[in-house]
Amino acid sequence: MTTDSRLRLVHLFPVLMGTYGDGGNIDVLVYRAQARGLDSEVVTVGPEDAIPGQADLYLLGGGEDAGQMVAAQRLSQSEAFNQACAAGATILAICAGLQVLGQSFEVAGGQIQPGVGLLDAVTRRRQPRAVGEVIAEPLGGLDWPYLTGYENHGGGTTLGEAATPLARVTSGIGNGIPGPQGQAWEGAIQGHIMATYLHGPVLARNPAMADHLLTWATGLEIAPLEAPLVEQLRAERLAYATSGKLSAEAAATAKRRRWPRNKT
């Protein structure tokens, strides 16, 4: 954490990369930090502002082609941002934010744009556009409930060896490029970068992810938080998203992986 003991959250370019309400993730982090007795400071960065280098967590949301290109250029040119990332700052990147942090991404007209290069991922245009609800099983030892969210993207992302998938898609598209065995992946993790195509906001729909990010950002063990309606809301979202498409095996696994009652 920063030396003044406050959790410093930086919202990057919301006027460019805020098409889908991803800024709500900052509100979730502030709320869940405060519930654990942690003070937070939120810094909003505009396209012409200097990017703070002293921060615990950066949020980069979704956006359109023009915003992506500006965001990629600004982040690549920011020595403070890249030094913070090299020092282990936590990043949550959503949808176009995932693409921007990668090696390159394709925009309308087939133009290939350089990304920031922090995430071992390449994004190209795909057809048809991925739109709809997603359910995905967390991977890499993440003992979370199934992830749910809403996707709306025209890119297909291939992960390189340095990045690992965040989750395995059970219903929906996710990254849009099958893995070596035909698996459908969603998102990516690399170091303290967590990237996903899920909107919702994703942290409101998946509080376990929010707590994981807080653990990274603070270095503290984040205790469970009482939230009586979480299980009810998750069950409703699973039912809506699957509409009977989830296999009996996957449904049973999803039920087993829910948090204990009244805890997130």
pLDDT digits (tens, 9 = 90+) for 172-186: 999 998 877 788 999
Q: What is the DSSP letter of 263?
A: B
Chain centroid offset of residue 50 CA: 23
Phi-psi region for residue 173, left (φ > 0), alpha (ψ -120 to 50) or beta?
Answer: alpha
43 CB neighbour count, 10 Å cutoff: 15
Token pair 């009810």 in the structure block, residue: 232
Three-point CA angle 108, 110, 116, nearest 5°: 85
pLDDT in tens, the chain (264 residues): 544 578 999 999 999 998 888 999 999 999 999 999 999 999 999 999 999 999 999 999 999 999 999 999 999 999 999 999 999 999 999 999 999 999 999 998 899 999 999 999 999 999 899 999 999 999 988 988 889 999 999 999 999 999 999 999 999 999 998 877 788 999 999 999 999 999 999 999 999 999 999 999 999 988 888 777 767 777 777 777 766 554 454 455 555 444 433 333
Q: Which residue has the tokens 């069950």?
A: 235
pLDDT of residue 247: 47
Q: Which helix (H) or strand (E) holds 15?
A: none
Residue-range domains of the chain with CATH: 7-223 (3.40.50.880)
